């Protein structure tokens, strides 16, 4: 199991495969390689990867056919295809098969790194707190760790955001204006039952009852203010690691 994002690179050009692997490892990704579509599919039968980067034109099994097989094994996995050819029908087949993105060869490394970083960051983390300093500080630390972040200053704003964005993790302050953190939590869970939540509070004794109700709603833990924002990133790492482990 890796803490860093895992990338499977698939290409029958060994020199290109080695070059991509070297560059991505230096950029902090955990990389495995496959020399053809058949090998990629076999690897997916044994492991999950955060992103697959795969050439389209390969012998035996092309990238689009390999994409279909991979999606049969793990439907939600993001696959990025690379091609040096402009074939409208092939691109349409790739879209139908559920490709994340199709990029042209020769690949621009900086653009590729940006795309991989955005893809492996996954669903944004939602931070709900009426304290602007806390929102900004947590966002800064989370984004430095490679996470996408969206923030809300109230429960109402958080609810609207979750209707627009699919989130996996939310940090929610218990004391919020208008509707409190507990009510916000319950309404967010109605929209996204699988949302993993962490409550935050600076009033441990005053909100004891609310915390107990929150725990009954499958809250992961509670952070007591003032807390080191690194604690929050460590919680995210543990939740992501647990999710990846359960998928394998």
For residues 199 and 220, give the distance between their C-alpha atoms in angstroms, rounded to a whole number: 8
CATH 3.90.245.10 fits 6-121, yes or no: no
Indicate the pTM of the whole model.
0.58
Give the residue carrying structure tokens 């020399």: 35
Residue 28: which region, alpha, beta or left (left: phi > 0; alpha: psi -120 to 50)?
Answer: left
Class of domain 125-247: alpha beta
For the chain, which residues make up each domain, given as ranges? Answer: 6-121, 125-247
Task: Give CA–CA dist 25/40, Å, rounded.
Answer: 19
What the block records as the tokens of 44 is 């997916």
Question: What is the distance between the alpha carbons of residues 232 and 247, in angstroms, rounded to a whole number?
Answer: 23
The answer to whether domain 6-121 and domain 125-247 are alike in fold is: yes
H-type alpha helices, the chain: 14-26, 37-46, 63-73, 88-97, 109-121, 132-144, 155-164, 181-191, 208-216, 229-247
DSSP label of 102: E
- Torsion, CA 53, CA 55, CA 58, CA 63, rounded to 10: 70
- 3-state SS class at 105: coil
Q: Could you read off the pLDDT tens digit of each residue along the chain, which spans 248 residues?
A: 446 789 999 999 999 999 999 999 998 899 999 999 999 999 999 988 989 999 999 998 999 999 999 999 988 789 999 998 767 787 788 888 889 889 988 899 988 988 888 787 677 899 999 999 999 999 999 888 878 889 999 999 999 999 888 888 999 998 898 899 889 999 999 998 888 899 898 876 655 666 666 666 566 788 888 888 888 888 888 877 666 555 44
């Amino acid at each position: 199991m890796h803490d860093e994002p895992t990338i499977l690179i698939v290409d029958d050009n060994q020199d290109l495969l080695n070059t991509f692997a070297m560059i991505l490892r230096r950029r902090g990704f955990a990389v495995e390689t496959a020399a053809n579509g058949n090998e990629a599919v076999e690897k997916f039968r044994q492991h999950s990867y955060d992103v697959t980067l795969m050439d389209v034109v390969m012998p035996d099994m092309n990238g689009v056919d390999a994409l279909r097989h991979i999606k049969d094994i793990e439907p939600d996995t993001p696959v990025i295809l690379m091609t040096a050819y402009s074939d409208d029908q092939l691109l349409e087949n790739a879209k139908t098969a559920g490709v994340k993105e199709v990029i042209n060869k020769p690949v621009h490394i900086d653009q590729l790194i940006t795309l991989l970083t955005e893809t492996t960051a996954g669903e944004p983390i939602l931070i709900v707190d009426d304290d602007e300093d806390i929102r900004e500080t947590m966002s800064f630390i989370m984004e430095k760790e490679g996470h996408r972040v969206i923030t809300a200053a109230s429960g109402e704003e958080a609810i609207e955001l979750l209707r627009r964005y699919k989130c996996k993790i939310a940090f929610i302050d218990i004391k919020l204006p208008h509707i409190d953190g507990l009510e916000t939590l319950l309404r967010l869970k109605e929209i996204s039952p699988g949302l993993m939540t962490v409550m935050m509070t600076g009033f441990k004794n005053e909100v004891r009852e609310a915390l107990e109700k929150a725990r009954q709603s499958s809250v992961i833990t509670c952070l007591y203010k003032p807390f080191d924002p690194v604690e929050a990133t460590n919680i995210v790492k543990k939740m992501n690691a647990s999710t990846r482990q359960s998928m394998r």
